[in-house]
Amino acid sequence: MNYSNRIALPKPFYAFALLGYLCIGCTSGLPTDSAGTAATTPATAQPATAPTPEAFSKLVWSDEFDSPNLDTSKWEMEVGDKWHNNELQAYTNRATNAFTKDGFLVIEAKQERLREANYTSARLRTKGKGDWQFGKVEVRAKLPSGQGIWPAIWMMPTDDVYGGWPKSGELDIMELRGKTPNQVLGTIHYGTTWPGNKNISGEYDLPTGTFSDDFHIFSITWSKDLIRWYVDGQQFYEVTPETIAPEHYPYNSRFYLILNLAVGGDFGGNPDTTTTFPQQMLVDYARVYKLPEEDS
């Protein structure tokens, strides 16, 4: 499906199908191309008593990236050459691909040969160092742009309590296709093992400019049976168990956070002659909040 011809609206609830790409973080051994069915069920309205973003006021975890080096007590740099979705990068643990500078985390994709890949980049996760069930997850970032560039802020299940991907879910807070730099998506992946995997998304279009012009806050509020997506505090999507019924809703267990910058792949296509390197995703902070009465 070609999304570039959609009309940009700043305040929508969308429930459209994303076809032709597999999850950005499925477990090893799954096919790299997806025949999964995309859901189109609209989000279900919630009662006014659902927690507001402001209600999640207890900060339980954060990284402000003020240290001279990446805090390895909070982040693991995943390493590997073969990733899903036909992505082209090798993820490394090198300080040239992920580093802190001037109070920011810099994830940098480079055009360079490393083993079997023509690009290098970084993918950071908090698994075993930061795992949460419910809360507000908030990341302030400035995103790269360009054909074939794919930054993402997302979450995966810590315990796979319902089985491997996508049975235990995947929760994408933000993804951007570099060829449409004014638009981000929020997505969930669910269902059964490929080819029974499914996904459903909402999209948000900036009224003016692109996400590479300045920093923006990407967040979710996540409660039992309810997830809501926001850009700069403006809600644009939500899901509940009814949204994906009769499929199982796996989002009431623990998840961990991932930040990465991919190159190429099924989601937005590969770089072309217009794509410049290096590309950088800048992160000002990552924070997790709970409701005051909740445990950390």
In the residue annotation, 247 being an active-site residue is answered as: no
Q: What average pLDDT is seen over the chain?
A: 87
Q: Which two tokens stand for residue 267?
A: 């989601």
**CB 206, CB 241: distance < 8 Å:** no
Query: What is the pLDDT at residue 84?
Result: 84
CB 143 within 8 A of CB 260: no
Is residue 265 left, alpha or beta, with left meaning phi > 0 and alpha meaning psi from -120 to 50? left
Render pLDDT for 91-141 as a digit per residue (tens, 0 to 9): 999 999 999 999 999 999 999 999 999 999 999 999 999 999 999 999 999
Q: Categorize the per-residue pLDDT at 30 as very low, low, confident or very high, splitting at 50, 70 and 90.
A: very low
Q: Show me where the domains of the chain are located.
A: 37-290
CATH of 37-290, one of 3.30.70.260, 1.10.8.10, 1.10.3720.10, 2.60.120.200: 2.60.120.200
175 is catalytic: yes
The predicted-structure confidence for 41-94, as pLDDT tens digits, reads as follows 444 444 447 899 999 999 999 999 999 999 999 999 999 987 789 999 999 999
- Which of 87, 108, 138, 175 is catalytic? The answer is 175
Per-residue confidence band for 15, with pLDDT thresholds at 50, 70 and 90: very low
Provide mean pLDDT across the span 143-152: 98
Q: Which of 87, 170, 203, 238 is catalytic?
A: 170
Tell me the per-residue pLDDT of 184-200, one tens digit each, with 9 for 90 and over.
999 999 999 999 999 99
Least confident of 8-22, 145-159, 166-180: 8-22
Which pLDDT belongs to residue 275?
Answer: 98
